[in-house]
Amino acid sequence: MEDDSGMATPQLTKCPGCGAQFDTYDQLIDHVVEAHNITCQVCGAKLNSKEELLQHNKQKHNL
C-alpha cells in the first residue's frame, strides 16, 4: 500500500475477532490470547469474548 507521496506505508495486522490493528504479528497473537481466549468456568468451553461468555452462560447454564 502507498500513501499520497508514493511511499510504502506499513501494513497493519488486524484482529479478525474485533478489528483491532497491530504493528506486528506478535502483538496480534498476544492480543488474541489475552482478549479472545475466554474459558467458561462451569464447563470449560472456549469462547472469543466476554460478551460470548455472557451469552453462553445465559443459554447453557441459566446464569
Question: What are the tens digits of pLDDT across the range 14-59?
Answer: 998 889 999 999 999 899 888 888 999 999 999 988 889 999 999 9
Domains and CATH numbers, the chain: 13-61 (3.30.40)
> What pLDDT score was predicted for residue 2?
44
Contact 35, 52 (CB under 8 A): no
* Residue that has been written with the C-alpha cell 506478535 in this structure: 26
**Taking the complete model, does pTM exceed 0.75, yes or no?**
no
pLDDT band per the 50, 70, 90 thresholds, residue 62: very high
Dig out the grid coordinates for 24 from the structure. 506486528
Question: What are the tens digits of pLDDT across the range 37-46?
Answer: 899 999 999 9
Name, in order, each residue with C-beta under 8 angstroms of 23's C-beta and a sequence gap of 6 or more. 10, 12, 13
> What pLDDT score was predicted for residue 40?
95
